[in-house]
């Protein structure tokens, strides 16, 4: 979330932001964590990230504690996590039978 609007990061800048957040909280070991940006929507600022299960807590904490992007306030909101990629493709609560 970027509450003041302005320029939105593209996919490469978003990935760099994730790596920077990991580096700031967990150092070079955190920055070396393999994180993949599977999808990124610049318009809605939403993304699907893939990380190994042992790195989930590091990634989540780094994103939660990051407060600025290019000297502007920002916040990450984790909407869903899943060990299965297919589970992220839809919401079972909205399924019409």
Give the angle subtended at the CA of 88 by the CAs of 56 and 97, to the nearest 5°. 145
**Mean pLDDT of all residues in 26-37:** 94
Half-sphere CA count of 25, side-chain side, radius 13 A? 18
Structure pTM? 0.80
pLDDT of residue 70: 85
CA 37, CA 35: separation in Å to the nearest integer? 7
Q: Contact, 59 vs 24, CB < 8 A?
A: no
Residue ranges per domain, the chain?
A: 11-88
Per-residue burial over 37-61, b if 16 or more Cβ lie within 10 Å, else e, is eeebeeeeeebbbebeeebeebbee
Residues forming a β-bridge with 49: 37
**pLDDT tops 90 at residue 19:** yes
Classify domain 11-88 by CATH number. Answer: 3.30.70.3250
Candidate from 16-25, 47-56, 68-77, 79-88 with smallest mean pLDDT: 79-88
pLDDT of residue 97: 59
**pLDDT tops 80 at residue 89:** no
Q: Which residue has the higher pLDDT, 89 or 69?
A: 69
**Mean pLDDT of all residues in 31-60:** 93
């Amino acid at each position: 979330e970027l509450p003041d609007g302005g320029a939105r990061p593209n996919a490469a800048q978003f990935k760099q932001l994730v790596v920077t957040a990991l580096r700031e909280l967990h150092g070079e070991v955190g920055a070396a964590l393999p994180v993949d940006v599977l999808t990124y929507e610049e318009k809605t600022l939403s993304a699907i990230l893939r990380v190994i299960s042992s790195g989930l807590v590091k990634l989540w904490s780094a994103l939660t504690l990051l407060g600025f992007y290019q000297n502007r306030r920002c916040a990450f909101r984790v909407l869903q996590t899943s060990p299965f990629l297919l589970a992220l493709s839809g919401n079972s609560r909205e399924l019409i039978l």
